[in-house]
Every structure is written in structure tokens, then in C-alpha cells.
Amino acid sequence: MNISQASSDAEVVDAVRAWVEDNVPRAWRDAARAGGVDGIRAVRSRGEYEEWYPAFAKAGLVVPTWPVAYGGLDFSPAMARLVENELRPFNLGRLNPLGLNLCAPALFAHGTEEQRLRFLPPIVRNEEVWCQLFSEPGAGSDLASLATRAERDPDHWGDTWFVTGQKVWTTWAHIADYGVLLARTDADVPKRQGITYFLIDLHQPGVDVRPLRHITGEIDFNEVFLDRAVVPDPQRVGDVGEGWKVANATLSGERQMVSGAGSGGVDRIGGRGVEHVLELARAHGVDPVLRQELMGVYCEERIRAWTNRRVRGGPLSSLGKVHQGSLNQRMQLLAVELLGAGALAWDGPDLVPEVKGMLRSRANTIEGGTTEVNKNILGERVLGLPREPDAYEGAPWREVPRS
């Protein structure tokens, strides 16, 4: 049975199992059944997975809840969970997560049908990799104060925008083809009213990507300099000046993506999950106090996974983001503690994975909006508490002091 024709739970499970047997390489299946995720990593390189990935996308299994026209199967969330349960043992992670979780929500909520048909299928197939051009050196937590500007020039190449400014902390810009971009198009209105949302091609003159190296040595973040980079008006999402509303769809998707187990996106940024920590505990032994800490972390993980299943975007996505930041940091510290002296000295030039995960997890309370920003969102937009006082509320952007 073709997976798209499955209509009952049993048919979905049978169809996915048959697809796995027919399409997932035998060596990967055997390794998964014998050694789990570690077994798969031993026999499958990143390059091999990327080469095989189009078969995954063609089946619609990358995004089973999306409409068929955009590369999905039009499954209900319940059916999609059945799919995930069958695929999970084979560690078939989604490539291009920023396209799937940051760009796509904005296109679904505010894009045109032409934009969705143009950009979503290549995102699913990992043919066009995406990044997010939001934060700036003077506009991080207060993102709405951003200064990158987009100016229209109808006399030059038709209806075209020219973008000038600087972005920073841009994850994977050095490997991206496109970026979702916020730019100021009107400086004479309040800051949230003068922003417009664009889709920008990064392979053009006027785009300069400069890597920023992590404490752990690798490169994920970048700063991006824009000097009259071109964006055709058909790559504007939403109305001019309505970019803040469009951006909320992207920000909500980002927060849900990094919210941890059960979020449906990147499961965890910075280290491995609680199952790995428990494996370390079994191997190294624990005292009663440490055992209690482990059980606390395990219980929090389960609760968060169940909570995340109930969240479908919007302000509530900040709930998992706030929890993820502190919980994952505590979890990675536990992993390092369990290693004991092995976390201080090791053979070879590379960091022990648990140490690398612990160092990377320090960013969890900052990325995707700081914990403080997300708590404000929960207080104001979920609990209905009054907004924080703002002496410049309603003032034109150009009159508001900036760092």
C-alpha cells in the first residue's frame, strides 16, 4: 500500500514498516536493531544520509502533516505520531530544520500560495537550506528595535528592495541558500509597525557571511553583512510594515523546535537526552543523592514531552522553551558529573561528547529568545498580566534611543 492511501492506524503502521524494509538500507536497519542510535552512527556517515535523504522526502514522511502539494501526506497529528513511532528506531532526523521550523510556519500563516509552492517542496527535499536573519548587534532581546533597512527602488529592476545592515548569531548562514529576514521599511512609526518580512537569496553580491567559532571549536553561528542586497517584492511575506506579525510565526516555530522531547523539531541542542544520562549512570554507578537527581530529570523530561504534544505554536510554545533551557543544562552537567575524572582528561584532540554537550548547552537559555523574554511572553500573552512599562511606547522608531 502507498503510504498516502493509508486511512486507518493499522494501515499507517503497515505501510510505514513496508516502506522501511524497501527503502532504508539493510545495513542501517541491522545496525539500528543491534545497537540503536550508536550502532547507526557507526555505519552511516552524514554524507551517505544526505545522499539517501531524497527517498525519505519523496515518500512524504519528512513532514507527514503537511498537504501533499507541499511534500507531505496530509496526515492528522495522531497519524503522524504513529509514523514517528515506526521511524524513531532508525534515527531518520530531518535535515534543513530551520527551513522546516522557521520559514515554513511563516509561509503557512502569511505567505501566498505561489510562495508556498515555490519554497516549501525544496525545503522538504533539503535542496535549499535556510537560516534566520533576525538578531542584530543592537537588537537581540529587544528584536523590534532592529536597524537593518530595506528600501524600495521601483525605477531600478522593477519592484525591488535593497537591504543594508548587519545581522548576528545567524545559525548555519555559512551553509544556507536562503534566509528569512526582518528589515525596517519605515522609521517614522513605532518600532513594531515599521518592520517587513522578506525571503532573501544569500548567493548574491552584497551578502558577506563571517563565521563565529564556538568555545567547543565548531562553527554554527555567523554574522552577516548586507550591502544593498537585492530582494524582489514577490519574496516579501505579508504586507509592508506587517513583518512583526509574520515574525511571530517564525519565532513560535523556533521556540517549539528547541523545546526538547516531543517538540516535533530538533530534539535537543547541546548534548544527548536523558536516556544517555541513565546509561552513563548504569555504567558508572550512583549514590542515593545522585539517583534522586536522575529521577527528577527523568520525570521532568516525561512531563515536558507530554506538555509539548499539546502545544501547537503560539505564545504557549514559550513554555517548553523556558523549561528546556534550564533542564537541559542540568542534564548535561549530570552527564559530566557521572564521567568523573574522564570529563577532565581524555585521549585525542577532540572533546569528550558529554563535555562538548555541556559547554554547548550553556546557550540554551539564550537562543530562541532568552529565558527572560519568554517568561514575559508567558506572563503577558498567556496569563494576561500587564506589560512591562515602556517610556517610549508608541514613539517613532527613529526617536527611540538604541545601544
Active site members: 254
* Integer Cα distance of 84 and 89 in angstroms: 9
Q: If you count DSSP H runs as helices and E runs as strands, how many of each does the chain have, helices first?
A: 13, 8
Residue with cell 553561528: 221
Which whole-number Å values give the CA distances from 268 to 67, 257, 347, 360, 369, in the listed order? 27, 9, 26, 11, 16
Backbone φ/ψ region at 55: left (φ over 0), alpha (ψ -120 to 50), beta: alpha
In 93-214, DSSP assigns E strands to: 130-133, 149-152, 160-167, 178-184, 195-201, 207-213
Give the pairing of strands 149-152 and 160-167. Answer: antiparallel
Tell me which DSSP letter residue 242 carries: B
Smallest Cα–Cα separation from 83: which of 56, 105, 104, 46? 56
Instruction: Output the nine-digit C-alpha cell for 326.
Output: 534550564
